Amino acid sequence: MKSIIVPVDFSNQSEKALKVAASLAKQQKAELFVLHMLELSPAIMGDSGYISQEQVVHLIKLGEQRFADFLDQPYLKEIKLTPIIKHYKVFSEVAEVAEKHDADLIVMGSNGVDGLEEIFIGSNTERVVRTSDVPVLVIKGNEAEDFDPKNFVFACDFEKESVPALKNAQKMAKILGSKLHMVYINTPGDEFLSTTDAQSKIDAFLKEANIDLTVEIFNDYTVEKGVLNYSDEVDADLIGIPTHGRRGLSHFFMGSIGEDIANHAKAPVITFKI
């Protein structure tokens, strides 16, 4: 891993993501690009909606100073770090910055669930997931600064289009030194397969991918519950799921199930574009 992007907005969540990104940068001897997007709030504008050029410059300087103060942390001292400031809040720019610097990973913070509020859906993190060709690691809250995932669960629909996501997950597991746990979630209803049929589907998928891996068949009432319960069973430190980029999380998750996994998982979630 050569370079990692971490967008920050000075929130607790982005600080936790920065700590994890710093930990990975140290482990991998990677360069860390810390991105901050300045935004001029409408609240600071007058009734006319206009602020002077001098005020804009002043606000930009304040934002730049706050960014510098935010990065003045002991855990960043021994890391090759490049701060990047964008003067507009356009989340597709995160993917553009990642492409420009040939990043291997984007690390972002997310609240997860607070009561009944689904924070991930429509969030800044979810917007980046939709536009990024680079894997996005979603940090949920209490991950240790020394991020070292031992057990990495990857779930998909075992259809041909998910092969690239699996290959990227396998590559990431090797980089992180994690054990990759592949799982097929078997659910009741029209999608239910016998053990023999499920194994045949898995074998065909692995043959297409030209990968020799053991895959666990896990039965549960829904895909979401299956992924989460299996992850708990193997004590997963990381959960991987495929995405369709601009079309959002993979149709394998049938609507919002991918978002539900991102919201409700105890472990961090990493997304791989199909």
Q: 94 and 17 in one domain?
A: yes
Residue 94 has pLDDT above 70, yes or no: yes
Looking at residues 86-104, what average pLDDT do you find? 82
- In this predicted model, what pLDDT tens digit does every residue of 10-57 receive, in sequence order? 888 889 999 999 999 999 999 999 998 876 554 444 445 556 677 767
Domain shared by 180 and 268, yes or no: yes
State mean pLDDT over 209-227.
93
Q: What is the pTM of this model?
A: 0.86
What residues contact residue 223 under an 8 Å CB cut-off, 6+ apart? 155, 185, 187, 252, 253, 254, 257
Domain at 247, CATH number: 3.40.50.620
- Among the candidates 84, 117, 140, a domain finishes at 140
Same domain for 11 and 115, yes or no, is: yes
18 with 110, same domain? Answer: yes
Same domain, 74 and 92: yes
DSSP label of 182: E
| 132 and 198 assigned to the same domain | no
For 123-158, the DSSP string reads SHHHHHHHH-SS-EEEE-S---SS---SEEEEE---
Q: Please check whether residues 133 and 213 belong to one and the same domain.
A: no
Q: Which of 97, 113, 140 is the last residue of a domain?
A: 140
Position 233 pLDDT exceeds 80: yes
State the pLDDT at residue 255.
47
Q: How many angstroms separate the first and last alpha carbons of the chain?
A: 20
Number of domains in the chain: 2
Single out the residue in 140, 161, 194 at which a domain terminates: 140
Is residue 187 packed enough to be buried (19+ CB in 10 Å), middle (13-18) or exposed (0-12)? Answer: middle
Residue-number span of the structural domain to which 206 is assigned: 149-274
Give strand pairing partners of 183: 155, 216
